[in-house]
Structure 1
Amino acid sequence: MISVSGIGVTSSIVRYSSDWPVIIDPSVGSDCQGVTAIVNLFDPLVSADTKGNVIPHIAESWDVSSDGLTYTFYLRPGIKFHDGSELTAEDVKFSMDRMLTIGEGISYLWLENIQETEVIDKYTVAFHMKTIFGPFLVTLPSFYIVNKELIMANIKKPGIYDDMGDYGRGYVIDHDAGSGPYVLKDFTGEYILMEKNPNYFLDINSAPDEFKMIGSTEPILLKTLMARRELEMTNRWMGSETLKSLAEIEDVEIAQWRGGGMEYITMNTRKPPLDDIHVRKALAWAFDYEMAVKLVPGSVQARGPVPLLIPGSDPNSFQYHLDIEKAKLELKQSKYYGHFDEYPIEIEWNTNKYMEKQAMLLMANASDIGLTLNVVETTWALFCSDSASIEATPHLHVLSANSYYPEAASLLQARYHSSTAGTWLQGEWLLDPVLDEMIENAIATKDKDERYAKYIEITRYVIDLCPTIFTIETPERRAYQSAYMDWPAAKGEAVPVYKYDNSMRYIKVYPEKREKLLKK
């Protein structure tokens, strides 16, 4: 727990409540808090606008070969890493090679698609694809560049990556190796402090001088900090009661927007009795979706695994609803019928109270059809660790996930392709080769309309397997200091790339307005 006295005050700062731990290595970090740090410390190869269009960033231009198998990027000269060395094509190649070799984080986006990354010259780099990868360009705003020279100088040997030792993982876990708009200043067990990069290649003069990620989501502390103007914004894991209490503070507002977020209840399809589809369907029919929507203001019932605002989603897919009789009929078809007392079922939740409420709701619904569920609170770190094996992965888990790029494949691949089994992204353990082939075929389709049609087929295939209870599409709901903070995402101007809403270079803070509030 972080104390109030441990939080300093400067004239231009954004302090943000964060879950913990925070993994700042772009080849490893993939959750909300990790990517929030990464998007500020590192630069992506390309960026995106508020409509999801890919725009220049590190690469100022690019072209694609006629066969769709080679993407060539032309870098801006003169961009500096935080240690003063220049970012070149060698760093881009090293970053992708490192990402694919480590094989964690969001490496699944490119792992099966990139054949080779080639340095053409100092400022030109090419990606050679194994096959056509239709959404490749729109994935790259989530590909961050690391400092090759700095990491190579801090590799520890021996290590699991042969000649590359530990590939610098031991170093990047708490050291800066980026070129981004913010520089790592201090990293403790309680907070991360970053300061604005004075040599950034874009104009960020109006951005906050510092960004501090505070390792606490404890409601009483957050309300105290907000009231003292020592916290500028919360993360997305605040429950409705906490947000309501924060909104009672003068000039603290609740920003809300649809950001492609989904709530799921994952079902471990390899663990009895959920290895039986009839049990999974019974739970899907038993769940009270209308009540789930009421638990999270601004939410709507999900229609399958992809939010409807994501291009390539299916607005006409089958949608479960509360029907106890259908649930009971499904249970009677199960091979476990009459023996459910021999198979205790646990549902885990972590992070916030509305996830707990969804778990409690399913527990109550399940009791109506004769199933006993035990609700278990866990931590994010423990959940991620447990997800590494089928045996340790819980029967059920209340999970929140966002798309990393604005196409349905982002969630379909992340949530259901076999390459993500064993990570927090997939508690279902589907390991379905037919589904894998369908996803791979879709993303290998060059024509966008044809690709989107295939996404719809995949969506319906997943729904037929019933590996998940698709509960709600959730809005981003965050408290922030509206009187002295200009935050584009709060005005509906969020860039639809994961955690770009937390990029400090888009935000303005007015210290003089804060001072007026403190004098009241």
Structure 2
Amino acid sequence: MSREEYTQNDTRSGSKLGNVSDQFEDSNSRRTFLKALGVTGIAGLAGCTGGGESYDGEENGDETTASSGGGETETEGSDDGTAGSSTLRMSATQRFGTVDPAKGTDYTQVLALVNLYDPLVFPDTEGNLKPHLAEDWTVSDDNKTYTFTLREGVTFHSGNPVRAEDVKFSAERFLDINQGYSSLLGNVLSKENVTVEDDRTVSFTLDRVHSPFLATLVLLFVVDKKAVMDNAADGDFGDRGDYAQDYLNNNDAGSGPYELAGFERQAQISFSRYTDYWQPFKDGAYDNVVVKIITKDPTVRSLMKTGELDVSSQYQSEETYQALAKEDDIRVDSIPTVTMFYFKINTQKSPTDDPAVREAMAYGFDYETARNQIAPGSLPAQGPLAPSFGVHNDDIVQPTYDPEKAKQILADAGYEEGDITVQNTYVKDFGLEEKMGLLFQQNMDEIGINVELNPQTWGTMTELATSVEKTPHVNQVFYGPVYPSPDTVFYNQYHSGTASTWMSMEHLEDSKVDSLIDEARSTVDPDTRGQLYADLQDHLANLYPDLFIFVQSKKHAFAEDVQGYTFRPSMSFDYWFPDFYQE
């Protein structure tokens, strides 16, 4: 069955795939390129936090089921129980591990949370913070007390009113459970300093001036205190029991635009529109959204073509995007982002604890081939921060491919060919990262460094990151802002206080880096803070803690009648379902 037959709509024409290299259109040139890397038939684009499988360029007409990911049971792609209402069907490449707003950290979890719950403030397309659950706020003269006035008449999905007491309770729960992104507030806010002024007014008094505070509040999702306490079990938090952690792992207690309608953790998650939401929906907004866990490119291609899938994930192979762009009723959009692709280097483990080794690797890597032939459409990097940030330091010297310079750096440091062996770790079965590893291996061989390729599951990579000893020498990771501030790039990745996570596999311990980050966080004046960020970027670039490979320009395949996708520079806020509508 075709998409046209499935949707019973006329075929529509529209914009087609842009910014895609001819390298992958021409199968002969593609094979030539892959042979140059020493392998033939590896899959295309995928991401660092999902599960994926190779696509070998051949259509598999029998594979039309939605995979649950990680080898779990598959479910039929078209049965979502939403017949008779408008449903947006999306795919994701990894399971939703939790929908507890105190615990979610990755892109699928935050995708769910931003639709089930409301934060006080919300980022716009430029990263500016706009009123959301809070209709306005004030900041004290000493820049430590933030007072928020809540919107009137907002209700949770239970029908209970949203009160200042719920905001205070949500902050306390966030800090007490101490998981997810709680560290963003835990170092600057004591729960005793969250004060209910009246039913609609709540204040936060910080321990010290903290300029990113407002930006971090996009990740403080407000929960229904009554619903949580009604479902709490015995636990470690006194009269609050377990804070209903078991309950909120599978249910929602939010006020967001959509309610949780169904949750098969290994297969799919379903949402239904909350009809009493405080903000009006667009004409054509979807009644339901179903996100299916699909790891196989042929499955995505088949379901998109038959109309059983409306939006692909951002982690499909280049071949899949090329094929879907040729369909009359499907378009593929290329979307610039502020997410960067890093080779994170363990700076505490021999031999990459030597800055000379890191510098040599930086000049020995072929960025142009990586960007233009492995990740076509991606943009050049220049230092640790994406250039589209307003505080980007445009004077940063970005290393370029210069194997002779790389060899000289190693020789000057006393190394001979074959002295150095490093591991390059990437997400298993993700074609883009596998190709990057092969390119890195080839480039390093040219300068006398041996590379052992070490594919692992994403879960294993996050576990390896928890200690210096376990963390491999070089690790391929996509990282973008989790809240709309440059602070999220610098603090989460480079401050010594946040070591031992997948975001900070550099294990960098540098007093000047810590000092510049801390000073920027305590600086209110934006110009002064901007200069601190410029100095920080320059210092980081000279430490060579990473290879800054490229800035991501992600792609999605959309059914032609799906409109409204809106990019926001904060993790998964571009998948806010009220943005989408059926044309």
Residues 1:120 and 2:202 are matched in the alignment: no
Instruction: State whether residues 343 and 475 of structure 2, in contact with CA within 8 Å, keep that contact through their aligned partners in structure 1.
Output: yes
* 2:143 equivalent in structure 1: 68
Deviation at 1:164, TM superposition (A): 5.0
Q: 1:304 — aligned with what?
A: 383
Change (3 A) 1:4 1:53: same
Deviation at 1:467, TM superposition (A): 0.9
SS at match of 1:376: strand
Report the CA distance shift for 1:113/1:33 in structure 2 as closer, same or farther (over 3 A).
same
Q: 188, 197, 215: which one pairs with 1:138?
A: 215
Displacement of 1:139: 3.1
Instruction: Tell me what 2:263 maps to.
Output: 187
Match of 1:497, as an amino acid? S
Q: Any residues of structure 2 matched to 1:366-377 within 5 Å, and which? A: 366-377=444-455
Quote how far apart the aligned CAs of 1:243 are: 1.3
1:224 aligns with: 302
Residues 386-434 of structure 1, C-alpha deviations (whole Å, 9 max, x = no match) = 3222233222221111113343222111211233322221111113343
Q: Which runs of 5+ in 2 are unaligned?
A: 1-66, 68-73
Corresponding position: 1:17 with 2:130: no
Supply the distance in 2 between the matched residues of 1:230 and 1:44 (Cα, whole angstroms).
32
Is the 1:44–1:142 Cα contact (8 Å) retained in structure 2?
A: yes
Q: Cα offset for 1:198?
A: 1.4
**Which digits, 9 at most, give the CA deviation of each residue in 1:129-155, with x for residues without a partner?**
122122322333333212222223333
CA contact (8 A) 2:424 2:476 kept: no
| Corresponding residue of 2:557 | 479
CA RMSD of superposed structures (Å)? 2.1
Q: Structure 2: how far apart are the matches of 1:205 and 1:293?
A: 38
Which of the numbers 82, 102, 109 marks the counterpart of 2:177? 102
Of 163-172 and 28-37, deviating more is 163-172
**Equivalent residues of 2:297, 2:317 under 8 A apart:** no
SS in 2 for 1:403: coil
How many residues align structurally? 503
Decide whether aligned partners of structure 1 residues 217 and 283 sit closer, same or farther in structure 2, where only a CA change above 3 A counts. same
CA distance in 2, matches of 1:183, 1:40: 8
Decide whether aligned partners of structure 1 residues 99 and 179 sit closer, same or farther in structure 2, where only a CA change above 3 A counts.
same
Of 423, 426, 433, the residue aligned with 1:355 is 433
1:347–1:373 Cα contact (<8 Å) kept: no
1:208 aligns with 2:286: yes
1:320 aligns with 2:393: no
- Aligned with 1:170 (options 228, 246, 253): 246
2:488 to 410, 417, 438: 410
- 1:256 corresponds to 2:302: no
What's the counterpart of residue 166 of structure 2?
Answer: 91
Q: Report the secondary structure of 1:150's partner residue.
A: helix
* Letter matched to residue 294 of structure 2: S
- Partners of 1:157 and 1:380 lie apart in 2 by 33
Relative distance call for 1:102 and 1:287 in structure 2 (3 A) is farther
Q: What letter matches 1:127 in structure 2? A: F
Query: After the TM superposition, which of the residue ranges 128-137 and 183-192 deviates more from structure 2?
Result: 128-137
SS of residue in 1 equivalent to 2:550: strand
Distance 1:98 1:423 in 2: 22
Matched with 2:55 is none
C-alpha contact 2:342 2:478 (8 A) present in aligned 1: yes
Secondary structure at the aligned position of 2:328 is classed as coil
> In structure 2, do the counterparts of structure 1 residues 337 and 156 end up closer, same or farther at CA, with 3 Å as the change threshold?
farther
CA–CA distance in structure 2, aligned partners of residues 333 and 165 of structure 1:
61
Q: Aligned pair in 2 of structure 1 residues 240, 331: CA closer, same or farther (>3 Å)?
A: same
Deviant stretches of 4+, over 6 Å: none
Q: Separation in 1 of the partners of 2:156 and 2:549?
A: 43
After TM superposition, give the deviation of residue 351 of structure 1 in Å. 7.0
SS of the aligned residue for 1:110 comes to helix
Displacement after TM superposition at 1:380 (Å)? 2.3
CA shift for structure 1 position 372: 2.0
- Does the 8 Å contact 2:426/2:454 carry over to 1? yes
- Do the aligned residues in 1 keep the contact of 2:425 with 2:456 (CA within 8 Å)? no
Deviations 1:325-355 (A, max 9, x none): 22122333557756746x5523223573222
Contact conserved, 2:565 with 2:575, CA < 8 A, in 1?
no
Select which of 336, 359, 363 maps to 1:281. 359
In 1, distance between residues paired with 2:513 and 2:261? 45
Q: Is the 8 A contact 1:41 1:182 kept in 2?
A: yes
Give yes or no for contact 1:4–1:225 (8 Å, CA) kept in 2: no
| Cα distance in 1, alignment partners of residues 541 and 137 from structure 2 | 38
Structure 1 residue 106: Cα displacement? 2.5
Q: Are the aligned partners of 2:257 and 2:578 in contact in 1 as well (CA < 8 Å)? A: yes
Identify the residue that residue 518 of structure 1 maps to in structure 2: none
Match in the other structure for 1:498: 571
Contact 1:24/1:172 (<8 A) preserved: yes
1:58 corresponding residue in structure 2: 133
Cα distance 1:103–1:395, how it changes in 2: closer, same or farther (>3 A)? farther
Which letter maps to 2:141?
A: S
What secondary structure does 2:556 align onto? strand
- Alignment of 1:45 onto 2:120: yes
| TM, length-normalised to structure 2 | 0.82
- Could you say which residue in structure 1 is the equivalent of 2:33? none
CA distance in 1, matches of 2:475, 2:505: 7
Match of 1:446 among 506, 521, 524: 524
* Closer, same or farther: CA 383–478 of 1 in aligned 2, 3 Å: same
CA contact (8 A) 1:29 1:105 kept: yes
- C-alpha distance after superposition, 1:69-116 (max 9, x if no partner): 111000113211112222211221222222233333333332322242
Please report how far the alpha carbon of residue 226 of structure 1 lies from its aligned counterpart in structure 2 after TM superposition. 0.1
Question: Which of residues 476, 480, 497 is equivalent to 1:419?
Answer: 497
Letter of the structure 1 residue corresponding to residue 407 of structure 2 = K
Where structure 1 has 5 or more consecutive residues not aligned to the other structure, the ranges are: 511-520
Q: Is the 8 A contact 1:74 1:124 kept in 2?
A: yes
Write the deviation string for residues 487-506 of structure 1: whole angstroms up to 9, x where unpaired.
243xxxx3333222111111
The letter of the residue matching 2:293 is: G
Which of 234, 240, 256 does residue 157 from structure 1 map onto? 234
Q: What secondary structure sits across from 1:435 in the alignment?
A: helix
Structure-1 residue corresponding to 2:25: none
Cα displacement string for residues 369-398 of structure 1 (whole angstroms, at most 9, x for unaligned residues): 122222233222232233222233222221
| Cα offsets for 1:202-259 (capped at 9, x unmatched) | 1126321111111113100000110011111122222322211221222211112222
Q: What's the offset of the Cα at 1:469? A: 0.5
